Amino acid sequence: VAPEEFKTSISRVNACLRKNLPVNVKWLLCGCLCCCCTLGCSLWPVVCLNKRTRRSIQKLLEWENNRLYHKLGLHWKLSKRKCETSNMMEYVILIEFLPKYPIFRPD
């Protein structure tokens, strides 16, 4: 993968996160302030916004895969992993190699 292509792909993912993160933080703060009064229901918008952000990044990665990376034998996907330093979970971009199919082998 050319460094320019990799940088462009990562920049697209970062732009998506940069667009959605401030809105998610505002709703999280509002939800935490009102959590006692609403018995936790004020945190539902944060859950929905995080799910929407995750879906938009997955769509972006699928578009990048179809555009470039599948042709190079790579597959990018969003994966949930446990943090090394704590019990929290985080999302990471996992880059996998696609298996090569022998096209010259008879059936």
29 and 65 part of one domain: no
State residue 36's pLDDT score. Answer: 80
54 and 88 part of one domain: yes
Residue 86: domain span: 39-99
56 and 82 part of one domain: yes
State residue 106's pLDDT score. Answer: 65
What are the pLDDT digits (tens) for 65-100?
Answer: 999 999 999 999 999 999 888 899 999 999 999 887
- What span, in angstroms and rounded, lies between the C-alpha atoms of 10 and 91? 14
- Beta bridge partners, 78, equal 93
7 and 28 part of one domain: yes
What are the pLDDT digits (tens) for 6-54?
Answer: 999 999 999 999 999 888 888 888 888 888 888 878 888 888 999 999 9
Inter-residue contact 46 to 22 (CB < 8 Å): no
19 and 44 part of one domain: no
To the nearest 10°, report the CA torsion of 47, 52, 57, 63.
Answer: 160
State residue 1's pLDDT score. Answer: 83
20 and 58 part of one domain: no
1: helix, strand or coil: coil
Mean pLDDT of all residues in 98-105:
75
95 and 43 part of one domain: yes
54 and 30 part of one domain: no
Give how many domains the chain has, as a whole number.
Answer: 2
Domain-embedded: residue 90 = yes
6 and 27 part of one domain: yes
Q: Residue 60's pLDDT band (boundaries 50, 70, 90)?
A: very high
21 and 48 part of one domain: no
